[in-house]
A and B are shown apart, each in its own frame.
Chain A
Amino acid sequence: MKFSKKDLIKLYTNLVRARTFDMLCTRLLAEGKFVSFYHEGAWGDAAGVGTATFLRKDDILYPHHRAHGFPHMIGKGVDPKYYLAEHCGRATGCCSGVGTVHALFEEYGILGQSAILGAQFTVSVGWGLAAKKNGTGQVVVASFGDGTLARGTWHEGANVAVLWKLPIVYVLENNGIAQYVSLEKAYPLKDMASLAAGYGMPAVVVDGQDIVAVAEAVGEAVKRARQGKGPTFVECKTIRVTSHGYGSPHMVDGEQRDMNMVEELKKREPLSMYEKNLLKQGIITKEDIEEIAKAAKEEAAAAEKFAMESPIQEDASILDQYLYAE
């Protein structure tokens, strides 16, 4: 799969935007303006952006919980300010400030999220079934982490997805750690792709720090799904350099995390690696980079202003309104 210059710049721009929002969310949480928790995504954000950027607007996407899905939603074309406002408990948020961590952007194929991990495996079966019935080539993309894949729902969903040949792409963001447990302590294998292969689902492992590789692999998988060839599994090897959530202990398997190893991981920072390549290839210039960064900062600042100036959601009358459909 080849990408045009425009595509490559779009990937870069979205990655810069996702990173800028990640920094914003971290700061807002530290300042007490962000509601509930925040699980930082920097350095592990290429997989989400690479996955989502070239999907069709009507494709269905379940964002991964890390960075609470900003990379995925930004890639999908959603205006992140409505999710930011949501996360700050504002009435202008995408769920009117009722969900905070939850997102809904129907017109962009983001049809809801659960904070209970593993929902994506089975809910996506329903989306896949509906997409197949719709017959318009719609594809479902479900993102999730290595830890999440341990849920039994994966097996129930994967089995049915293959059996019914549903147009689903499962994108694993394997950062080798789930909250406080390392991959080694959670699986007798390292490449989760083998789990998909067992169901006869084509599976591929890519470098999740290489945004082009992710976009290419997901692109091929989406193509298969659109052609009615059934589900695919894409495993992106990525990293987590922060603690699980902002303020939570930076520990793994009962010990403090080895910070030398974390520093080593940081060398695989996806944005600068991609930027270097783009410069070398003459696809962007130093000036372009500055401009993109500036635009992202402005976008984030505007989103923050929008969120902070929006009214806090304190209208109790919506509780009844939202509970049941008429």
Chain B
Amino acid sequence: MRLLQYNEAINEALSEELARDEKVFLLGEGVGVSSLATTRGLVQKFGPDRVIDTPIAEAAITGCAIGAATMGYRPIADLMYSDFLYTAADDVLIRAPQWRFLHGGRQSLPIVFIAGSGGYRKVGPEHSHSPHSIMLHHPGLKVVVPSTPYDAKGLLKASIRDDNPVFYMFHKALIGMKEDIPEEEYIIPLGQAKVRREGTDVTVVAASYMNYLAIQAADKLKGEISVEVIDPRTLEPLDLDTILKSVIKTGRVVIVDEDTERCGFAGELMAQIMEHAFDELDAPIKRVCAANYPIPSGFLEKFVLPQPAQILAAIREVVK
């Protein structure tokens, strides 16, 4: 075991997979340096043919990934900020997810789109998105949102080995988080939620940075309310069973989601819980999401993005 930071864990996963399978390669803007150091040092290890710096040409990056994937390669397309997926949205949201389906199920696309997401850094409406709901709205694309260094590594390795396009979104605000990581190899299969805190009064479902905030809330409420925190870890595939099991136990649910509330993942999950476990609920489900505004820059950000106090309040209210 050694203590690794979230971005170091990502880096290690990339490094191991590049070493394991020569069909894996990485491309993106400045991956040789990498702002958040997720890909730093890889070009020295694997050379510029496998760790490819690109111009600012997102469509070329994602299109290249699709083309190479159809020819047996396993590209990892680094989009830097998840906000930039919109500049290549036809590849990421239309072409890649539907490719296999519309070609009669014969041609899979083993691609990982990787990008940093999320707000809380006051960097404004074009560098703070958590655009997973729009991804989920395009069946065929898997969505991975790790909340810890351990998960970041194991899930990324699974994503790279998956034969489908996966959007792997790490959260910028989690970069400095540290955790013990085993020396030996491990993989976390996609589609397995994790119970982060066991509890009996209320289930809080939260992924990525929201999971971090949810755990803090649970710890704060210790002695007052027994909170079970569930981290879905991947939103597609979604481990509904683990969530439902918890709902049956607690009868109360709060869903925390950093994405915009309207038509978001939280609303979707609410619907699924009601479809499958309405009778188990003792209170209406509450959600804490980004308010239905663009994410403002500066000091107004806190009025839009979910805040710890809102999570606490929602939990208290749902158990009332």
Binding site for B on A (CB under 8 A): 35-37, 89, 97-102, 114-118, 147-148, 150-152, 178-181, 185-187, 248-249, 251-255, 312-314, 316, 318-319, 323
Contact A116 B87 (CB under 8 A): yes
* Residue among A98, A102, A254, A255 with the highest chain B CB neighbour number at 10 A: A254
Distance A101 CA – B122 CA, assembled complex (angstroms): 10
Q: What's the minimum C-beta distance from B303 to chain A, rounded to whole angstroms?
A: 4
Question: Can you list 12 A-B pairs with a CB-CB distance of less than 8 A?
Answer: A36-B124, A97-B298, A98-B298, A99-B296, A148-B56, A151-B87, A179-B35, A181-B32, A181-B54, A186-B55, A312-B298, A323-B294
The answer to whether B291 touches A36 (Cβ under 8 A) is: no
Asked if A35 meets B53 with Cβ closer than 8 Å, knowing A180-B30, A319-B293, the reply is no
- Interface residue tally on B, bucketed by range: 35 or more
Report the Cα distance A114→B294, complex, angstroms.
Answer: 14
> Could you tell me if A97 and B300 are in contact, using CB atoms closer than 8 angstroms?
yes
- In the bound complex, residues from chain A placing their C-beta under 8 Å from that of B304 are 319
Q: A89 near B34 (CB under 8 angstroms)? A: no
**B245: Cβ under 8 A from any A Cβ:** no
CB < 8 Å neighbour of A314 from B48, B51, B84, B300: B300
A323 x B293 contact (CB < 8 A): yes
Q: Is B263 an interface residue (CB 8 A)?
A: no
* Whole-angstrom CA separation of A117 from B35 in the bound complex: 17
Q: Is B56 in contact with A178, judged by CB distance below 8 angstroms?
A: yes
Q: Distance in Å from the Cβ of B90 to the closest Cβ of chain A?
A: 11
Tell me the smallest distance from the CB of A93 to a CB of chain B, in Å.
Answer: 8
A98 to B297, Cβ gap below 8 A? yes
Are A150 and B298 also in contact (CB < 8 A) when A100-B122, A116-B84, A254-B33 are? no
**Chain B residues with CB under 8 A of A318:** 300
- A319 with B57: CB separation less than 8 A: no
Q: Known contacts being A100-B124, A118-B56, A151-B57, is A254 close to B300, with CB within 8 Å? A: no
Residues of B within 8 Å of A187, CB to CB, are 55
Query: Cβ of A180: which chain B residues have Cβ within 8 Å of it?
Result: 29-30, 32-35, 53
Could you tell me the distance between the alpha carbons of A35 and B126 in the complex, rounded to whole angstroms? 14
Evaluate contact between A152 and B57: CB separation under 8 angstroms: yes
Question: Once the chains are docked, how many angstroms separate the CA of A151 from the CA of B86?
Answer: 13
Once the chains are docked, how many angstroms separate the CA of A36 from the CA of B296?
12
The answer to whether B83 has its CB under 8 Å from any CB of chain A is yes
Nearest-neighbour CB distance to chain B for A87, whole angstroms, equals: 9
A254 engages B44 (CB within 8 Å): yes
Report yes or no: A89 in contact with B83, Cβ–Cβ below 8 A. Answer: no
Which residues of chain A are near B123, meaning CB under 8 Å?
Answer: 36-37, 101
Please name the 3 residue pairs, one residue from A and one from B, whose CB atoms are nearest each other, closest first. A254-B32, A89-B298, A180-B30
B56 touching A147, Cβ below 8 Å: yes
Determine how close the nearest CB of chain B comes to the CB of A262; give it in whole angstroms.
Answer: 16
